[in-house]
Amino acid sequence: MPINSPQHVPLATNQSVGQMSYGRDLGPGQNPHVNFEPSITGGLREGQYQTEDIEGPELAGRLTRARIPRTNDYLQAGQRYQLLEPWEKDDLVLNFTTLISQADRKVQERMLWHFYMADDELGSRVSEGLGIGLDDVKDLGPLASQTLTEAEQERMKNLGKNGLRDVQGLAMTHCVPNGRVTVER
């Protein structure tokens, strides 16, 4: 079908900077600085997502589309952070602080809320790096699409005052060499 034909409908994607790339697809009203989804600053959006459970057609049983009833979005992330070597924590915080500082203030605040939900130390360190206090983010609450577990709800009530994650009995194998160690021969 010719590009100028009346049936041609331009397709907007978030694809950019690939091989042989010479342009970027932008949807109507799309922020050209956003190349990921979802974004609260005007990136492309998925079609409307069903928030209620939907039962599919009866085949040999019933297909159901529903939210996962048991999620825990923050425990593993917080434990992983606590199992990092000190230099890895420093690098991670520096990366988060450097990159998130380039985002809009409301994105920075939302990310800090997530970091505090994962681990108080991580949230506090990134908060300090961005110059945004806990009081600025503690009342944000979960995203509309999130369902917090009871443990996460308790963590949210004490945001920033939960203490370190318990990692007793957990171990992590490190695959990243410590490039800061100098071996003397």
pLDDT digits (tens, 9 = 90+) for 105-141: 999 999 999 999 999 999 999 999 999 999 999 999 8
Average pLDDT, the chain: 80
Residue 139 placed within a domain: yes
Report how many helices (DSSP H) and strands (DSSP E) the chain contains, helices first.
Answer: 5, 2
Mean pLDDT in residue range 102-107:
95
Q: Is residue 149 part of a domain?
A: yes
23: left (phi over 0), alpha (psi -120 to 50) or beta: beta
Cα-based distances in Å from 146 to 45, 47, 142: 17, 18, 6
Domain count, the chain: 1
d(CA 25, CA 15): 7
CATH of the domain at 138: 1.20.1370
Residue 119's Cβ-count burial label (10 Å; 0-12, 13-18, 19+) is buried
* Assigned domain for 137 exists: yes
Would residue 33 count as lying in a domain? no
> Rounded mean pLDDT of 160-183?
78
pLDDT score at 110 = 95
Say what percent of the chain tops pLDDT 70: 68
Question: Do residues 72 and 148 make contact, with C-beta atoms less than 8 angstroms apart?
Answer: no
pLDDT of residue 16: 58
Q: Span 2-19, mean pLDDT? A: 54
The token pair that represents 129 in the structure block:
């790096």
Q: How far apart are CA 157 and CA 171, in angstroms?
A: 29
Q: What is the pLDDT of residue 107?
A: 95
Residue 178 lies in a domain: no
Q: Which of 123, 40, 130 is nearest to 74 (CA)?
A: 123
State if pTM tops 0.75.
no
In-domain check, residue 115: yes
* pLDDT single digits (tens) 14-59: 555 566 665 666 667 777 777 666 667 766 556 666 677 777 777 6
Instruction: Write out the residue range of the structural domain in which residue 104 sits.
Output: 75-157
Ranges assigned E (strand) in 2-125: 54-58, 62-65
Is-contact 71 147, C-beta < 8 A? yes
User: Do the domain assignments include residue 173?
Assistant: no
Is residue 98 situated within a structural domain? yes
The residues that bridge with 58 in the sheet, in sequence order, are: 62
